[in-house]
Chain A
Amino acid sequence: MPGLISFLGDHFDAFAAGFWVTVRLVAGSFAIAMVVGTLIAALRVAPVRWLQRLGALYVETFRNVPLLVLLFISFAGLRRAGVDINAWVAGMGSLGLYTGAYVAEALRSGVFSVGKGQIEASLSLGLSYRKTLRHVVLPQAFRTVISPLGSLMIAMIKNSAIIGVSLLALPDLLKQARIVSSQTFRTDEAFFWAAVGYLVLTVAATLLIRGLERRYAIRR
Chain B
Amino acid sequence: MTYLFDPGNWEWLFTGNNARFILEGFLINLEIALIAMVFALAVGLALALARLSRNPVLSFVAGLWVDVFRNLPLIFLILYLALALPTAWRDVWEENVPDWAPEAFQSGFVFAALVGLVLYNSAVLAEIMRAGILSLPRGQSEAARALGLSYRQSMRHVILPQGLRRMVPATVSQLITLNKDTTLVSIIAITEVMRRGRIVTSSNFFAAVEAPVLHVFVFIGLLFVLVNYALSRLSRRLEIGERRRSGAARMEVKGLEDQIPAAEPA
Q: Which residues of A does B touch, CB under 8 Å?
A: 60-61, 63-70, 72-73, 76-78, 80-81, 102, 105-106, 108-109, 111-113, 115-116, 147-148, 150-152, 154-155, 157-162, 165-166, 174, 178, 181, 187-188, 191, 194-195, 198-199, 202-203, 206
B-chain residues with CB within 8 Å of residue A152 when the two chains form the complex: 257
Instruction: Determine if A151 and B73 form an interchain contact, defined as CB atoms under 8 angstroms apart.
Output: no
Provide the residues of chain B in CB contact with A158, threshold 8 Å: 71-74
| Chain A residues, CB < 8 A from B180 | 64-67
> Is there contact, CB below 8 Å, between B229 and A72?
no
The docked-state distance in angstroms from the alpha carbon of A72 to that of B214 is 8
Q: A70-B221, A162-B184 are in contact. Are A174 and B213 (CB under 8 A)?
A: no
Q: Residue of A at shortest CB range from B68? A: A199
Tier of interface size on chain B: 35 or more
Q: Are B229 and A109 in contact (CB under 8 A)?
A: no
**Neighbouring B residues of A165 by C-beta, 8 Å:** 75, 79, 187
CB distance from A203 to the nearest CB of B (A): 7
In the complex the two chains form, is B68's CB within 8 Å of A191's CB? no
CB closest residue in chain B, given A203: B71
A-B contact pairs, 20 of them (CB 8 A): A60-B229, A60-B232, A66-B179, A73-B217, A77-B213, A77-B218, A80-B213, A105-B262, A111-B263, A112-B265, A112-B266, A148-B261, A151-B256, A158-B74, A174-B76, A187-B83, A191-B83, A195-B72, A198-B76, A202-B71
Alpha-carbon distance A64/B254, docked complex (angstroms): 21
Whether the pair B263, A105 counts as a contact (CB closer than 8 A) is yes
B interface: dominant SS: helix
Contacts of B194 in A (CB 8 A): 68-69, 72
Pair B255/A188 contact, Cβ less than 8 Å: no
Given contacts A81-B214, A148-B261, contact A64 B197 (CB under 8 A): no
Q: How far is the CA of A115 from the CA of B264 in the complex (A)?
A: 10
Bound Cα distance A195, B225 (Å): 31
Given contact pairs A106-B260, A112-B265, A116-B266, A65 touches B221 in the complex (Cβ within 8 A): yes
Q: How far is it, in angstroms, between the C-alpha of A60 and the C-alpha of B213 when the chains are bound?
A: 23
Q: Which residues in B have some Cβ–Cβ distance to A below 8 Å?
A: 3, 68, 71-76, 79-80, 83-84, 176, 179-181, 183-184, 186-187, 194, 197, 212-215, 217-218, 220-221, 224-225, 228-229, 232, 254-266
B90 CB to nearest chain A CB (Å): 15
Report chain A residues within 8 Å CB of B183.
66, 68-69
B76 touches A108 (CB 8 A): no
Give the 4 A-B residue pairs with the shortest CB-CB distance, closest first: A77-B214, A64-B228, A161-B73, A155-B257
In the bound complex, CA of A61 to CA of B228 (Å): 9
Q: How far is the CA of A80 from the CA of B249 in the complex (A)?
A: 50
A73/B79 in contact, CB under 8 A: no
Question: In the complex, which of the residues B72, B76, B181 has the most CB atoms of chain A within 10 Å of its own CB atom?
Answer: B76
